[in-house]
Structure 1
Amino acid sequence: MDRSTQFRSTATSNPSQASHGGLNTAHRTWRGQTQPQMHIGTMPFLPDPDFIERPDILTLIRDGCARAPHRIAIVGMGGIGKSHLAIHNAYRIREQHPDTWVFWVDGSTRERFRSSYRTIAERLDLPRRDDPKVDVLQLVSEWLQVEENGPWHMILDGADQVDVFFSTQNPLSSFLPPSRNGTIVITSRSIDVTQRLVGSERDILPVPPMTTDEAHSLLRAKLGNNIDDGETAKLVAALSYTPLAVTQAAALIDNGRVPIRQYLNEVQVRSQKKVSIPNKDASH
């Protein structure tokens, strides 16, 4: 599923043009220039109103950002809720520290990474950003290293591919500078990539499936409380307590297209078919 369909998007697909609740788009510019009271940043997603708190994980994310090198990786399979956790944490930072710039960077490809940095350069109104002789990656990287520019927080989302960040020429990892006034949260499905990006295993946070109570709460948030607890318990268990799977199920059930019991039966049938597929290597 395309990542943009998993979150409530802002009013425009271009985060550099979003109104973000009607706030004036005043920006901190280059060194020594005036600073606004609140920074808009480049978050392309609004907070999820149905977000279910996972306090233990969120506490570990905050603790990881607080200690040097001020970056932490959230690692897990697709659909486990990594990006939701990072986005929720980022909005909490913006609420508690409105003078902090919050940036979102798409780490899935080199092209999308560069596009995200260009959006940051535009949001910051950086001089020479439109100069074809200027590397926008280097321009933003230099801004991030200047302490006078104030605190910033970055989500590097979908950093799954080693060759995206560690190519032989101009590796993108070099444009994620260490900074005493900046923090980075990386979401990834790859332990290899995150180990190389954060440099320490203690700064890699595996994200497990939701607990039973968390998965129940998510389904209730989507469908309301007038649902059968017994069927709900069976359904979230059949979906392996995976947030994306629960959300997708709720969307079909809420639209009246599929009753809970029917959806549960379909999931169970699919699971049985997977189990019944013979293992070709078992006889060797």
Structure 2
Amino acid sequence: MTSISVDFGNANLGSQVGINYGSIHLAPGRERSETPPPPLSNVPFRRDPDFVNRGTLLDQIYEKGTSPRARIALVGLGGVGKSQLAIECCYRIRDRSPSTWVLWVHASSLPRFEQSCRDIADRLKIPGRQNPEADVFKLLHDWLHDESKGKWVLVLDNVDDDRFLHRVPRTKQDGCESGRSYITERSIWAYFPESLKGSIFITSRSRQTVSRMVENSDIITVKPMDEAHTIVLFEKKLEANTPRKEIVQLIAALEFMPLAIVQAAAYIKKRAPRLSVPHYLETFRASDYRKISLLGYKGGSIRRDWKAKNSILITWQISFDYISQIRPTAAGLLSLINFFDTQKIPIALLQEGKKIKDGTESLPAIYTEEKHYNACQDEESGESSLFETFEDDILMLRDYSLITICPDNSNFEMHRLV
């Protein structure tokens, strides 16, 4: 038989076969070693040159978030600017400490969370990541806890529903039959324990959600901007001279919400000079239909996750849909509240389930209808169930910053734009 010779040149890597009368078995090749990258940031958004610092809020986030083993959460209504604050803080961290790794994870769902972790593993060139059966959470966990890597900051953006983080994932394991999956021993969140070298930032609309992940003392509530800072933001985004009085009226109508302000500025700027601030405000006040149309405008913010949407109306609809799914009675209560004025709504009025008439339409007394609750064995337990359900519904709406309790504790207020 003829002998076959293969020349690999100076890079003598592989197999050379002379005479062979049987099958050839090759051992799996080892993963090629890669040069690890220097400390980097994978924040998926450019820095906003129009960012407006809200007094000491950013300093508070920076100081609390960069302390050893920090875990902090930014909580507030959708569109209030949580992610924008996190983005700016990330850039500030890199400015002051270029040796710090800044890693951004889209955490709105399990598929996006896992994909973000895989993308980070690729950027960091973590060994073993190319194995299709590798547990990417374990790989990232080991990297984060390798003290030789230095300091790092991990941002989990839009953790509005954390249920997937506390479930035990199914992963493929080495040596197991192809195509079969096995349950690991710990939840995804258990892969991210405290580290002396790292900090975790979380953004969420739900205070209850983040309370399962960080200490209450480490939850920072992000509220709408004050008038002075909102004026500066609007003027930067509009890039046109406008009388201050007109701006004040518009931002007040928009309840000082950053996303709504940016939307309005983009809408006016795109249609100028045919549309001005007074014209926008007049249209906004004309009817609920026109108001909904303007609030539904998708534009102005390029520093938001595409899943989070640029429209403040859609942003809040996402919150409402989620509440409707997990607690229908809370969604029903919010719908009922919308029939009232948004300020100083008596809690007792809803708690007692009174029927309120507006013109010829009667509003449903949702807390007197037995079908909304589990059957009660007696009258006393039924009253207790109604009270607890009402309080839990109020808690959820407060948790999502959709309503606030007045200082007198007998009335509450709802955000006007909701």
TM-score category of the 2 structures, normalised to the smaller one: 0.7 to 0.9
Residues 86 and 122 (structure 1), Cα distance of their counterparts in 2 relative to 1, 3 Å cut: same
Q: Match for 2:283 among 221, 246, 266?
A: 266
Match of 2:137 in 1: 137
SS, match of residue 183 in structure 1? strand
1:75-154 alignment runs, 5 A limit: 75-154=75-154
Q: Is the contact between residue 122 and residue 129 of structure 1 (CA under 8 Å) also seen in structure 2?
A: yes
- List, as ranges, runs of 4+ consecutive aligned residues in structure 1 with deviation greater than 3 Å: 33-36, 66-69, 269-279, 281-284
1: CA distance between counterparts of 2:121 and 2:68? 26
Distance 2:108 2:99 in 1: 28
* Contact 2:224-2:258 at 8 Å conserved across structures: yes
CA deviation string 1:106-147 (max 9, x = no partner): 110011011111111001111110102211111011100111
Alpha carbons of 1:159 and 1:68: their partners in 2 closer, same or farther (altered >3 Å)? same
> Post-superposition shift, 1:271?
5.8
1:127-206 correspondence to structure 2 within 5 Å? 127-167=127-167, 169=169, 170-198=186-214, 200-206=215-221
Question: Is the CA contact (8 Å cut-off) linking 1:79 and 1:242 kept in structure 2?
Answer: yes
SS across alignment from 2:56: helix
Looking at structure 2, the residues matched to 276 and 148 of structure 1 have their Cα atoms a distance apart, in angstroms, of 59
Q: Which amino acid aligns with 1:247?
A: V
- The residue number in structure 1 matching 2:261 is 246
Contact 2:68-2:197 within 8 A present in 1 as well: no
Letter in 2 for 1:173: W
CA separation in 2, counterparts of 1:138 and 1:89? 27
Equivalent pairs: percent with the same residue?
A: 37
Kindly indicate whether residue 363 of structure 2 is the aligned counterpart of residue 280 of structure 1: yes
Who is 1:224 aligned against? Answer: 239
| 8 Å contact from structure 1 (residues 144, 177) kept in 2 | no
Structure 1 letter corresponding to 2:262: T
In the other structure, the counterpart of 1:10 is none
RMSD: 2.5
Between Structure 1 and Structure 2, whose CA radius of gyration is higher?
Answer: 2
CA distance in 1, matches of 2:108, 2:255: 26
Is the Cα–Cα contact under 8 Å of residues 239 and 267 in structure 1 kept in the other structure? no
Pairwise CA distance, 1:57: 1.3
- Aligned-pair distance for 1:59? 1.8
Change (3 A) 1:34 1:177: same
Instruction: State the Cα distance separating 1:250 from its structure 2 match.
Output: 0.4
- The Cα shift of 1:177 comes to 2.5
SS of alignment partner, residue 91 of structure 1: helix
- Displacement, 1:175? 2.6
The one-letter amino acid paired with 1:280 is L
Deviations 1:168-221 (A, max 9, x none): 5553212322111111111000111111111x1110001010010111000100
Is contact 1:110–1:172 with CA below 8 Å preserved after alignment?
no
Range moving further from structure 2, 173-182 or 117-126: 173-182
Supply the distance in 1 between the matched residues of 2:191 and 2:137 (Cα, whole angstroms): 6
Q: Shift of residue 223 of structure 1?
A: 1.6
1: distance between equivalents of 2:133 and 2:36? 27
Question: What's the counterpart of residue 40 of structure 1?
Answer: 40
Bigger shift: residues 58-67 or 83-92? 58-67
State the shift of 1:265 in Å.
1.8
> Which sections of structure 2, spanning at least 5 residues, go unmatched?
1-32, 170-185, 292-337, 342-357, 369-418
The residue matched to 2:271 in structure 1 has which SS?
coil
> Secondary structure of 1:104's match?
strand
Distance in 2, Cα, partners of 1:41 & 1:194: 24
**Which residues of structure 1 form unaligned runs of 5+?**
1-28
Letter in 1 for 2:195: S
Partner of 1:208: 223
* Displacement after TM superposition at 1:225 (Å): 5.2
